[in-house]
Amino acid sequence: MFRKSLFKDLTFTDIHTLYSDPREAERFFFDLKWKDGFVCSKCGHTHCTTVIRKNGSLRTVYQCSHCGHQESATVGTALEDTKAPLFSWILVMFVFVMSKTGTSAKYISNLTGVSYHTTKFMLRKIRQAQKQDNETHAATDCDAIGLDVFSYGGKKHGKRAGEQQAKAM
């Protein structure tokens, strides 16, 4: 789910432009969950209607036209029951996925403006989802292996340049 190709050729500014609107951020996760359009998790039907909630929730609820089962784009994902704005999740995911080395919650918090504790929670959820995603792919699956940086070798052992071993007489 959380791969570098998710944000291919996007910059931090592009992310702000594309997903700062809550509806666009939700659409991002809708497309991530249902790549080929809505599919009911209960009956497998592909037609749905949107439900307008009375409690003022910003998240869209989709109701299956066949069985009436309701779900959102975040149900059944790492984002289920989150109260944080979906745009914040996209920002944290972007920084996490695009960094070549591990990134601290403090660094991402400072960069994105999301609170430290929320960022720490999000990173834990993202790592759990990434671990589950890696476990479901077989080692022979070409998509399961991603390599950004490769180092070969290590420290050279022995004498430093200019040092010579004392000759025995």
| pLDDT given for residue 64 in this prediction | 92
Per DSSP, the residues of the chain read ---GGGGTT--HHHHHHHH-SHHHHHHHHHHHH-TTS---TTT----EEEE--TT--SS-EEEETTT--EE-SSTTSTTTT--S-HHHHHHHHHHHHH-SS---HHHHHHHH---HHHHHHHHHHHHHHHHHHHHHS-TT-GGG---S------PPPSPPTT--PPPP-
- 3-47: per-residue pLDDT in tens? 556 777 888 899 999 999 988 999 999 998 888 899 998 999 999
Higher pLDDT, 58 or 128: 128
Arithmetic mean of pLDDT, 133-140: 57
Q: What is the rounded CA–CA span in Å between residue 48 and residue 63?
A: 5
Query: Residue 161: which pLDDT band, with cuts at 50, 70 and 90?
Result: low
Paired with 51 in beta bridges are 61
Per DSSP, the residues of 144-160 read G---S------PPPSPP
Mean pLDDT is lowest, of 22-31, 62-71, 117-126, 128-137, for: 128-137
Query: Residue 106: which pLDDT band, with cuts at 50, 70 and 90?
Result: very high
What is the percent of the chain with per-residue pLDDT over 70, rounded to a whole number? 72
Higher pLDDT, 139 or 121: 121
| pLDDT given for residue 96 in this prediction | 87
59: exposed, middle or buried (Cβ count in 10 Å: 0-12, 13-18, 19+): middle
Residue 85, φ and ψ in degrees, nearest 5: -60, 145
Q: What is the rounded CA–CA span in Å between residue 90 and residue 15?
A: 8
Q: Is the pTM of this model over 0.85?
A: no
